[in-house]
């Protein structure tokens, strides 16, 4: 059965029903159609081709829209199949079936979170949403509240082109914090100008922040919103409740700067501007936004690395560098996962880890979202982590301030995460899930 996105209701799953609601409220949402029961015969396939022609012939984005997906308790981040760029009806049909059948991974994910499958709505055989693919010039994600500090700030992360590399953690985004009461254009100045390498203009940032607040008001809770900009229009691709909210308070916290080439200007006070690449200090050290230099001594030990605070809390454990799936067997419960980036196939390691440190990615990437749901500290964008943090070295990971320091503690799991969510149980040895 096919249902136009404009008519999507709870039968069509949370994602589609939410987008229909936003579209009816006047927000730009790409047109689409929902396949309600993709695994129940093939009758819908004969109806699909004329619908795709009416939508413009492609390319299309094919995504799950499960009843239990994108809820307030769990996001299933990365566990359900998504395909961007399907061009032919046959390709769309194949990806729809793949997406509808991908619920097994999500069921396993809920178990690793310490929940039984009957605590969430059914996933397997879920509705699938087909939408016109936005030819994004810039895309990203934004939170209507800071997911690490709990501050009432709109956090915007952006990357060139489609946003899948950002969400998966395969790229390090540019980041802005928009504070309450910031007037349109206030304090943005040259910090976000095109000649500084910024992906977003002050006007676009203000538009995104306004859109984020409107989505939050319409849906009645703090939201995680995926967006894309094409030909001057800001499209809403997804909106879901933030599944984890820090109780750390309303301070802005410490955010590491973006990588070289990102726009300049610290996000402090009531400014609207991008995070800064910190200036180089003496003898090659680098200062973070809180003034702590890599290599400096703190009460917790020497600072080995700085990165982006991505999931709050602190913990101590032995570093374990995992470069690919072949290394999974070397990982033990309580290790600190150190890697370039994670994907859904790495979720079993996150379920067993004391903390996670990645070399690329932002606070809205797969590793960060899953770490917050698992209530473990995470630091992303820690350049050189797989070289600096050698196997077995005892380190202290501070996911609230974005530091990795030396440790002499004999305790290997001293998490002080602000989340009250219980840690998931240790899992069996992970299996490859590409």
CA–CA separation, 25 and 40 (whole Å): 33
**Cβ–Cβ < 8 Å for 318, 404:** no
Q: What is the pTM of this model?
A: 0.76
Q: Give buried/exposed letters for 155-186 (b at 16+ CB in 10 A, else e).
A: bbbbbbebbbbbbbbbbbbbbbbbbeebeeee
pLDDT tens for the chain, 434 residues long, are 899 999 999 999 999 999 999 999 999 999 999 999 888 888 899 999 999 999 998 899 999 988 755 444 444 455 577 899 999 999 999 999 998 887 655 555 445 445 555 544 445 558 999 999 999 999 999 999 998 888 889 999 999 999 888 877 788 999 999 987 765 443 332 233 334 589 999 999 999 999 999 999 999 999 999 999 999 999 999 999 986 655 544 333 333 333 222 332 233 222 343 333 332 332 233 333 333 344 555 556 899 999 999 999 999 999 999 999 999 999 999 999 999 999 888 888 999 999 999 999 999 888 998 999 899 999 999 999 999 999 999 999 999 999 999 987 655 444 554 444 444 443 333 333 33
In the chain, where the domains are located: 2-132, 138-241, 285-406
Q: What is the DSSP string of 209-241?
A: HHHHHHHHHHHTS-EEEEEEEETTEEEEEEEEE
Would you state the CATH architecture of domain 2-132? 2-Layer Sandwich (3.30)
Would you state the CATH architecture of domain 138-241? 2-Layer Sandwich (3.30)
Q: Domain 285-406 carries which CATH code?
A: 3.50.30.10
């Amino acid at each position: 059965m096919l249902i136009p996105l404009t008519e999507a209701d709870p039968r069509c799953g949370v994602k589609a029903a939410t987008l229909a609601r936003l579209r009816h409220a006047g927000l730009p949402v790409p047109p689409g159609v929902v396949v309600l029961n993709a695994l129940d015969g093939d009758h819908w396939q004969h109806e699909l081709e004329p619908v795709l022609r009416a939508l413009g012939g492609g390319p299309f984005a094919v995504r799950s829209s499960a009843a239990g997906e994108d809820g307030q308790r769990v996001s299933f981040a990365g566990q359900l199949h998504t395909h961007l760029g399907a061009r032919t009806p046959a390709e769309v049909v194949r990806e729809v079936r793949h997406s509808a059948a991908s619920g097994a991974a999500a069921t396993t994910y809920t178990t690793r979170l310490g929940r039984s499958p009957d605590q969430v709505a059914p996933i397997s055989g879920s509705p699938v949403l087909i939408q016109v693919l936005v030819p994004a010039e810039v895309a990203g994600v934004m939170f209507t509240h800071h997911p690490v500090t709990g501050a009432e700030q709109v956090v915007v992360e952006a990357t060139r082109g489609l946003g899948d590399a950002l969400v998966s953690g395969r790229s390090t985004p540019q980041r802005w914090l928009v504070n309450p009461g910031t007037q349109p254009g206030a304090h943005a100045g040259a910090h976000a100008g095109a000649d500084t390498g910024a992906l977003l203009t002050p006007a676009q940032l203000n538009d995104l922040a306004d859109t984020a607040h409107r989505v939050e008001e319409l849906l009645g809770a703090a939201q995680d919103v995926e967006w894309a900009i094409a030909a001057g229009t800001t499209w809403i691709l997804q909106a879901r409740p933030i599944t984890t909210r820090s109780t750390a308070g309303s301070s802005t916290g410490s955010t590491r700067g973006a990588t070289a080439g990102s726009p300049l200007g610290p996000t402090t006070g009531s400014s609207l501007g991008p995070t800064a690449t910190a200036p180089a200090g003496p003898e090659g050290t680098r200062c973070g936004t809180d003034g702590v230099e890599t290599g400096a001594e703190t009460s917790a030990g020497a600072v080995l690395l700085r990165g982006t605070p991505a999931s709050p809390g602190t913990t101590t454990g032995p570093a374990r560098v995992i470069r690919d799936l072949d290394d999974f067997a070397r990982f033990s419960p309580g290790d600190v996962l150190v890697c370039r980036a994670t994907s859904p196939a790495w979720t079993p390691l996150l379920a067993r880890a004391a903390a996670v440190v990645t070399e690329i990615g932002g606070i809205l990437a797969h590793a960060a979202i899953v770490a917050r749901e698992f209530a473990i500290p995470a630091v992303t964008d820690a350049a050189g982590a797989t070289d600096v943090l050698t196997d077995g070295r005892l380190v202290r990971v501070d996911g609230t301030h974005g530091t990795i320091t030396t440790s002499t503690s004999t305790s290997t799991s001293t998490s002080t995460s602000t989340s009250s969510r219980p840690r998931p149980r240790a899992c069996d040895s992970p299996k490859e899930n590409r």
